[in-house]
Amino acid sequence: MCYYDYYERADGAAGQGLGAQALRKGTCMEYLILAAALLLVGALFFLSGVWNDRRSRRWQEQKYREQFGKPSAREYEAGETDSIPGYFFRHRGDFHLDDITWNDLDLDLLFLRMNTAVSSAGQEYLYYMLRTPVFEEETLQRREERIRYFTEHTEERVRLQMLYRQLGRTGKYSIYDYLELLDTLGEKNSLKSVFLDILIAAAVVVTAVSPGTGLLPLIALLSWQIATYLKEKRAVEPYLISFKYVLRAVAAAEKLGREAVPVIGEEQERLRELLPQFRGLKRSASFGMRSMGSDGGPLGILLDYLNMMFHFDILGFNRMLHQVRRLAPQIDVLLTVLGQVDALIAAAGFRKGLSAWCEPVFEEAQEETGSYAAAQVRLEIRDLYHPLLEDPVKNDIQVRRGVLLTGSNASGKSTFLKAAALNAVLAQTVHTCCASFYRADFFRVMTSMALRDNLVGGESYYIVEIKSLKRILDAAQTVTGEKAAPQERVPRGVHAPVLCFVDEVLRGTNTVERIAASVQILKSLCRPGVCCFAATHDIELTELLKAQYDNYHFEEEIADGDIRFPYRLMPGRASTRNAIRLLSVMGYEEDIILRAEQMAARFAETGVWK
């Protein structure tokens, strides 16, 4: 019935009273029509969001298919890379790659190339995995089974990646950074927020009955809630992000447990055993806390506004605080299991993108003494190359003792050392080598290569260098542990053989003392259970250490005023000195070059500098 119908009846029959009643009813009808229109617009907006979300999912699934095997090109939020080592710092074992080795081998760059993990749990575990070599072939074989499966089963892999996409990342915060600080928050009380929510609900009811009476208090209460929300959320935001991530992790674990992916059966069983312990946590989570799984869609935007007005997520935080403190060990296991699967999918993508690769073969040295300190190490690699090079030259190496490497600058010595060390690390982490064949012992890999002065600590390059070498000598002296029993078969990392790489031994001091000290240090590293690769410009070392080290070298070719580096590893020591000739190639004055050659020739004949 419309406004005009009521108005005509009022004019003839009931007079002014009916006319006023008709006017009110007509006005109410207009409000209903307006409300219906708004609901229709809201429904259309929601349906549009659902359609866009489905289209986005299809696009993301196709992207995962197309990008698999390609280097990661993702951009990181400010401070995000600082949080990635969070899991590693809390789970370091007896042996891990120390900071010097990690930096020498540019493993940050390799990690960023490999990091196609979709979740924070995945990328943190991938970082941990690269820094924590494994000394158990059984563990590596389990990783191999999963890596191979994810490489060969596209649809199953994409389903898991979409699942991990819902888990998402924590941005610049690592969960572990804040789980350890929960005790500093004390006990949180929600009575004030609950009381204000009750007042807002009452104001809404009053406004519906009498807009003039309830509207102003409602606006005041909502304004107060929004203003205080920003302040309170800022104080707990890092923890809030972590708590919401825990909730998403629980939801992801439930979904992962239902996936038909047989290769992760062990992980699914662990999650099924673990999930019942999180029932109380889920009950403690508020509506606002659970809303964070909405991925920013229309529903997520609506819930964000509700959180601002009613503090649902802060209420949920206060309720969850006690539960998270109690369940910290179980949360750690949950994130570990989830992170392992995501990290191994990333490792499968890394392997897929390699031009050539092989599975490593591990052989423990067998000695009657039963001591690793009496065992001769072995390392054999064919077609070795560095995975970060665009067009690498591949080389072979087979050794049973130390290697002394000579050659001019830029000839390939440092790159070869890094490639050999890096492949030893990859073999014991992602079970993938950049080579056609790799056979070796389980090694503790250590390096002393790309060192710098410590300006902050006031240490010269030489001091930094001898400290770096000392830690390798100390590790070599720990290769004294008894071999594992036959049923264990694998050594503990703390007593495993040492594979070390030293670039330009003691370059920070004078020639005479450098050669004397280098000989004694390198002799000390020539012992059972230790294999040392050392690069040097001091040709004298090749003669002084020929009884302990095999000599190899790289050469350069100078012709027609140009220089070429073939980057081929050659047996024996370098037989040419081309440093002065390189000055000519770079355009130095002939007088400088001639006088330098004369001085070098005179010293070679007499052993005296003039």
Separation CA 7–CA 24 (nearest Å):
11
Q: What is the mean pLDDT of residues 366-383?
A: 69
Mean pLDDT score, 299-325: 76
Weakest mean pLDDT among 43-47, 63-67, 156-160: 43-47
Residue linked to tokens 């039963």: 370
Rounded-to-integer distance, Cα 3 and Cα 26, Å:
4
Average pLDDT, the chain: 84
- Which pTM value belongs to this model? 0.82
Given a cut of 60, whether residue 35 has pLDDT beyond it is yes
Q: What average pLDDT does range 339-353 have in this prediction?
A: 97
Q: What is the mean pLDDT of residues 158-184?
A: 86
What average pLDDT score do residues 253-265 get? Answer: 95
* pLDDT tens digits for range 107-144: 999 999 999 999 999 999 999 999 999 999 999 999 99
What's the pLDDT at 481?
53
d(CA 229, CA 181): 22
Confidence grade of residue 375 (pLDDT, cut at 50, 70, 90) = low
**CATH for the stretch 361-573:** 3.40.50.300
Confidence label for 175 from pLDDT (cuts 50, 70 and 90): confident
Residue 441 zone, left/alpha/beta (φ > 0; ψ -120 to 50; rest): beta
How confident is the model over 563-581, as pLDDT tens digits? 788 999 999 988 766 777 7
* Highest-scoring range by mean pLDDT, 61-75, 177-191, 211-225, 592-606: 61-75
Question: Nearest CA to 522 among 512, 539, 534?
Answer: 534
Looking at residue 486, its pLDDT comes to: 47
- Asked whether 424 and 441 are in contact (CB, 8 A), the reply is no
Contact 119, 251 (CB under 8 A): no
Question: Cβ distance 349 to 115 under 8 Å?
Answer: no
In 377-509, where does DSSP find H-type helix? 413-427, 461-477
Q: Residues with Cβ < 8 Å from 590, sequence gap 6 or more?
A: 584
Contact 251, 293 (CB under 8 A): yes
Sign, CA dihedral 239-245-248-250, equals negative
Higher pLDDT, 200 or 388: 388
The pLDDT tens digits of the residues spanning 471-518 come to: 999 999 988 654 445 445 445 677 889 999 999 888 877 888 889 999
Q: What is the largest CA-CA distance in the chain?
A: 135
Contact 441, 365 (CB under 8 A): yes
pLDDT classification of 248: cutoffs 50, 70, 90 = very high
Average pLDDT (421-447) is 97
Q: How far apart are CA 498 and CA 610, in angstroms?
A: 43
The per-residue pLDDT for 553 is: 94
pLDDT above 60 for 273: yes
Q: Which residue has the tokens 């220089």?
A: 563
pLDDT at 49: 66
pLDDT of residue 609: 73
**Closest alpha carbon to 83 in 170, 169, 173:** 173
Element (H, E) at 376: none
Burial class, 333, CB count within 10 angstroms (exposed 0-12 / middle 13-18 / buried 19+): middle
Confidence of residue 151 (pLDDT cuts 50, 70, 90): very high
Helix, strand and coil percent figures for the chain, each rounded to 5: 60, 10, 30
Lowest average pLDDT, out of 176-190, 421-435, 537-551, goes to 176-190
> For residue 184, what pLDDT is reported?
67
Residue 292 has pLDDT above 60, yes or no: no
pLDDT at 455 over 60: no
pLDDT tens-digit map of 67-84:
999 999 888 888 889 999
The angle that helices 298-310 and 312-326 make with each other, rounded to 10 degrees, is 90
Per-residue pLDDT at 1 exceeds 50: no
DSSP classification of residue 454: B
Chain centroid to Cα 523, Å, comes to 38
Q: How far apart are CA 88 and CA 339, in angstroms?
A: 12
Check residue 367 and give its pLDDT: 46
What percent of the chain clears pLDDT 70, i.e. is strictly above it? 85
Name the residue ranges covered by the structural domains of the chain. 3-63, 80-352, 361-573, 577-610
Topology of the domain comprising 80-352: MutS, DNA mismatch repair protein; Chain A, domain 3 (1.10.1420)
